[in-house]
Amino acid sequence: DRKKLHTAPVGQVFRLRPFHVLVATGGGYAGYRKYEDYKLEQLEKRGIEVPVKLASEWEVALYKSVPTRLLSRAWGRLNQVELPTWLRKPVYSLYIWTFGVNMKEAAVEDLHHYRNLSEFFRRKLKPQARPVCCLHSVISPSDGKILNFGQVKNCEVEQVKGVTYSLESFLGPRTSTEELHFSQAPPGNSFQQQLVTKEGNELYHCVIYLAPGDYHCFHSPTDWRVSHRRHFPGSLMSVNPGVARWIKELFCHNERVVLTGDWKHGFFSLTAVGATNVGSIRIYFDQDLHTNSPRYSKGSYNDFSFISNNNKEGIPMRKGEHLGEFNLGSTIVLIFEAPKDFKFHLKAGQKIRFGEALGSL
């Protein structure tokens, strides 16, 4: 009376499918990121400084040899694939748990509403979720973590404590097409001095790191006029704080979009820095900008003047106005001129949200 037991061939049982590989890889990466973030948080809570250990030239060259631009374009296409309705909640829930996303702030909390990962990354917030501070002249343009801030000294800017990069390499050399008020500076001055247009002013900087779980849109940090855009194709290396401590001039290696102009105190710039899987940096008023495009090669840059090609006034931006978006977490760098009594209301390493005060006079 024994019943026959029918078994499938071993090859069919252990056959790997793309979906299984994707889930296993994503789950492993999520666990790794969670563990790394936990270690950094514990060190910060205990007040222990992570020692600076810079990568050697061959390590940087090896990292840059990885086809991160190609991989980021592939990731971008994958993010645009529409997910089945039944799969959306499990996939997005894993992402929410991994990166600590607060969906209660989202304009649409229902996970089934987002057809693909790209829509979920670029989710909008409820209008009351980010009130814009009216009492301070400069606000945070995005959610994120403050990596560094302060005065620019000796033409060097700190990306994290103890690790710097060249101001001129980051913004690029001056050209005749730029409207940066260079003509007001005496010839022969350093690049930093040429940016300062008013006597008695100083140059300041602030670096904000957007984690993958943060709100991915960025806004105008003050009332200013955008006169020029410079796009550096560059690499797409990771910009998380651990890598920023490891690779000197990381922000100068990576793809970035530099917006320059002026505010009531002189020179003002906002730079959106790309990173691995952040192949798309979008500026809402700049339809000609195409980032991570195969037609652009590393080591070059292209300029666009909003004064000569658009209008004589440039692009006026109001504090808190929508400016652009990333397709994943990345970095915003502010470099601006202000009087000597300008004060930041920040602490290095603190979390900040769009609309909160950065500093004021």
Q: How far apart are CA 224 and CA 208, in angstroms?
A: 19
Which single residue is written with the structure tokens 């301070």? Answer: 136
The helix or strand, by DSSP H or E, that contains position 111, with its residue range, turns out to be none
Query: Which residues does 225 contact at the CB level (< 8 Å), separation at least 6?
Result: 261, 262, 263, 313, 314, 315, 316, 317
Sort 20 into a burial class: Cβ within 10 Å, 0-12 / 13-18 / 19+: exposed
DSSP state letters, 122-139: TPPBPGGGSPPPSSSSEE
Q: 244: which residues sit within 8 A by CB, 6+ positions away?
A: 147, 159, 160, 163, 209, 250
Count CA atoms closer than 13 A to 210's CA, side-chain side: 29
- Please identify which of the residues 37, 137, 143, 214 carries the catalytic annotation: 143
Confirm whether 345 is a catalytic residue. Answer: no
Query: Residue 301 and residue 169: Cα distance in Å, rounded?
Result: 12
| Stretch (H or E) spanning 69 | helix 68-79
216 is catalytic: no
Q: Residue 203: beta bridge partners?
A: 337
Query: Who's near 239: CB < 8 A, 6+ residues apart?
Result: 209, 250, 251, 254, 273, 275, 330, 331
Determine which one of 118, 220, 227, 330 is catalytic: 330
330 among known catalytic residues = yes
Among the listed residues 219, 228, 231, 265, the single catalytic one is 219
Active site residues: 143, 219, 330
